[in-house]
């Protein structure tokens, strides 16, 4: 089947005629893009939790009127990441400025407009891994600049991941017209180029010694844009990689033989055996060993033999 026979390319002119006025995913419903919808919901729930989980400041924090407990747990703080709180590299992408609704509004609009199309192209699982990895890449770029300049300012926002989504969409549809401010028609490639220049300039200033005064995480934006471009230009996919890692971890945990790509048959057998063992051990835990059938006992014996082989 040729590329121009694929639905997501054939319907391009119909889908994207609206541009920024909501046309980024035109004819795609929420039910056809469950991962975009779920990311949207999780982000909004975290935003509401930020608003309502507040406490009074301590003596050291007296200059801050109220502090969001949830945000203090999830925001990206380079010094805390270096002390072991690595979850912040990812969780910060689900936090937004609770005093500025436009922060979350525009991030979620970009995700919804462009993400639905990409989810349809790549699949929901692959899109999820892309979004999360983009958020991680954006956070790492921010931490690197933070440490290089010594600013050590906390960061929140999905902008880095959303920039990766926008870049990936622009690589696929560079001449797609969007409507800036819902009025001015501009090809999306020029919008992305503008963001690259807009974010690169203050980063270069910071590296030259000028302090950052914009309050915008430009390095995170650049990290997301770079990851989106790298992903678009390389054939690798994240979901199969993550799946292989899960299989490897499950087999290793069960003591089964972990094999390389040259031994695919044995790999599939080990994977299937590990899944069967998980189900059997769960049954033993819930119903006791006496509940096992003869076939299940034979499966355990096979697994035991595999384990002995590995140890030998």
pLDDT tens-digit readout, 73-112: 999 999 999 999 999 999 999 999 998 999 999 999 999 9
pLDDT of residue 259: 52
The pLDDT tens digits of the residues spanning 198-209 come to 999 999 988 887
* 76 burial type by CB count under 10 A (0-12 exposed, 13-18 middle, 19+ buried): buried
pTM exceeding the 0.95 threshold for the entire prediction? no
The predicted model gives 38-61 an average pLDDT of: 86
Longest dimension (CA), the chain: 73
DSSP 158-210: SHHHHHHHHHHHHHHSTT-EEEETTTEEEEHHHHHHHHHHHHHHHHHHHHTTP
Please check whether residue 20 is in contact with residue 178, taking contact to mean a CB–CB distance below 8 angstroms: yes
Residues 164-174 pLDDT 10s: 999 999 999 99
- List, as one string, the DSSP characters of 76-120: B-HHHHHTT-TTHHHHGGG---TT-HHHHHHHHHHHHHHHHHHHH
- The H or E element that residue 55 is part of is strand 54-55
Domain 3-236 has CATH 1.20.1540.10: yes
Q: Where are the domains positioned within the chain? A: 3-236, 242-311
Q: Which residues of 129-158 are buried (b: 16+ CB within 10 A; e: fewer)?
A: bbbbbbbbbbbbbbbebbeebeeeebbbbb
Strands 177-180 and 184-187: antiparallel
User: What pLDDT does residue 265 have?
Assistant: 46
Strand, helix or coil for residue 260: coil
What are the helix and strand counts (H, E) for the chain? 14, 4
Check: CB of residue 115 under 8 Å from CB of residue 189. Answer: no
């Amino acid at each position: 089947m040729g590329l121009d026979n694929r639905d997501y390319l054939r319907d391009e002119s119909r889908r994207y005629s609206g541009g920024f006025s909501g046309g980024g995913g035109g004819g795609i419903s929420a039910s056809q893009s469950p991962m975009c919808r779920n990311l949207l919901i999780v982000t909004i729930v975290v935003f509401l939790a930020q608003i309502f989980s507040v406490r009074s400041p301590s003596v050291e924090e007296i200059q801050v009127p109220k502090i969001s407990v949830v945000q203090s747990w999830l925001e990206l703080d380079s010094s805390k990441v270096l002390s072991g709180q690595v979850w912040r590299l990812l969780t910060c992408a689900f936090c937004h400025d609770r005093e500025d609704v436009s922060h979350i509004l525009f991030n979620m609009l970009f995700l919804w407009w462009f993400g639905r199309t990409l989810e349809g192209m790549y699949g929901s699982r692959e899109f999820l891994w892309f979004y999360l990895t983009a958020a991680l890449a954006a956070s790492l770029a921010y931490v690197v600049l933070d440490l290089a300049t010594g600013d050590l300012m906390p960061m929140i926002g999905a902008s880095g991941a959303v920039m990766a989504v926008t870049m990936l969409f622009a690589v696929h549809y560079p001449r797609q017209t969007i409507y800036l401010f819902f009025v001015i028609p501009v090809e999306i490639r020029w919008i992305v180029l503008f963001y690259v220049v807009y974010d690169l300039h203050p980063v270069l200033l910071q590296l030259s010694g000028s302090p950052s005064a914009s309050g915008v995480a430009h390095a995170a934006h650049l990290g997301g844009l770079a990851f989106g471009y790298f992903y678009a230009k390389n054939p690798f996919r994240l979901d199969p990689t993550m799946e292989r890692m899960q299989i490897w971890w499950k087999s290793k945990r069960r003591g089964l033989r972990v094999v390389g790509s040259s031994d695919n048959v044995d790999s599939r057998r080990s994977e299937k055996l590990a899944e069967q063992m998980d189900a059997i051990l769960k049954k033993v835990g819930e119903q006791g060993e006496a509940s096992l059938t003869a076939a299940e006992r034979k499966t355990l014996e096979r697994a035991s033999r595999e384990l002995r082989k590995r140890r030998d």
